[in-house]
């Protein structure tokens, strides 16, 4: 199934700022690296999954240049109804803030959805539990980011 729209926390439209030199670097906020614009339609993953009869998911990957909190906000019912789920998401406080989201609130929302969070890093050669949201936010300032893995249900480590 392909839907010609962007996953968000609401139904509507938004301006997508595009990077003609890097097709993977499009954002919902302006930046000097972005040199094109397009109006796109948005919908929630809750609405989309309901429309197509999807009750739960086992795996979700989100890397949307700082709009991750908006995607999760629009997928809360789907993720709440997914007892066994692996979530992979980028955590970039700068991008989250520029997209209008609070980085700490984003991490807390993942916890409320039942995810146990780990940081995946080539430095540590595996996944390290996130013990302190504040420490994670502190070490991912500016252009720094972290790759997170959220596990719940049978996928969560004991």
pLDDT single digits (tens) 10-37: 999 999 999 999 999 999 999 999 999 9
| Residue 123, pLDDT score | 72
| Residue 17, pLDDT score | 96
| Residue 2, pLDDT score | 79
Q: Is residue 47 part of a domain?
A: yes
| Residue 156, pLDDT score | 87
DSSP category for residue 115: P
User: Residue 20 and residue 58: Cα distance in Å, rounded?
Assistant: 33
pLDDT single digits (tens) 106-157: 999 999 999 999 999 877 677 899 999 999 999 999 999 999 999 999 998 6
Q: Is residue 110 part of a domain?
A: yes
How many beta carbons lie within 10 A of that of residue 64, not counting itself?
A: 20
Domain count, the chain: 1
Per-residue pLDDT, averaged over 53-81, amounts to: 97
Q: Token match 């997209």: residue?
A: 99
DSSP category for residue 17: E
Domain that residue 131 falls in: 6-155
Q: Is residue 14 part of a domain?
A: yes
User: Residue 156 and residue 1: Cα distance in Å, rounded?
Assistant: 28
Q: Is residue 1 part of a domain?
A: no
User: Residue 64 and residue 138: Cα distance in Å, rounded?
Assistant: 21
The more confident residue out of 3 and 87 is 87
Q: Is pLDDT at 102 greater than 60 in this prediction? A: yes
Q: Is residue 33 part of a domain?
A: yes
How much is the pTM? Answer: 0.93
pLDDT single digits (tens) 35-63: 999 999 999 999 999 999 999 999 999 99
| Residue 157, pLDDT score | 67
| Residue 158, pLDDT score | 54
Question: Nearest Cα to 65, choosing from 108, 26, 100?
Answer: 26
- Rounded to whole angstroms, what are the CA distances from 134 to 54, 62, 94, 121? 35, 22, 14, 18
| Residue 52, pLDDT score | 94
Question: Nearest Cα to 98, choosing from 144, 30, 33, 9?
Answer: 30
């Amino acid at each position: 199934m392909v839907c010609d729209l962007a996953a968000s926390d609401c139904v509507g439209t938004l301006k997508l700022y595009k990077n003609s030199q890097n097709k993977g670097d499009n954002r919902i906020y302006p930046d000097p690296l972005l040199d094109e614009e397009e109006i796109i339609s948005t919908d929630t993953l809750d609405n989309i999954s309901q429309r197509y009869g999807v009750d739960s998911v086992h795996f979700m990957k989100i890397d949307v240049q700082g709009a991750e909190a908006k995607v999760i906000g629009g997928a809360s019912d789907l993720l709440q109804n997914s007892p066994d789920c692996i979530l992979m998401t980028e955590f970039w406080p700068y991008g989250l803030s520029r997209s209008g989201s609070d980085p700490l609130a984003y991490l807390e929302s993942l916890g409320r959805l039942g995810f146990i969070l780990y940081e995946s890093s080539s430095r540590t050669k595996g996944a390290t539990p996130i013990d302190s949201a504040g420490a994670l936010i502190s070490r991912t300032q500016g252009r720094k980011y972290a790759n997170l893995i959220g596990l719940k249900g049978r996928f969560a480590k004991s």
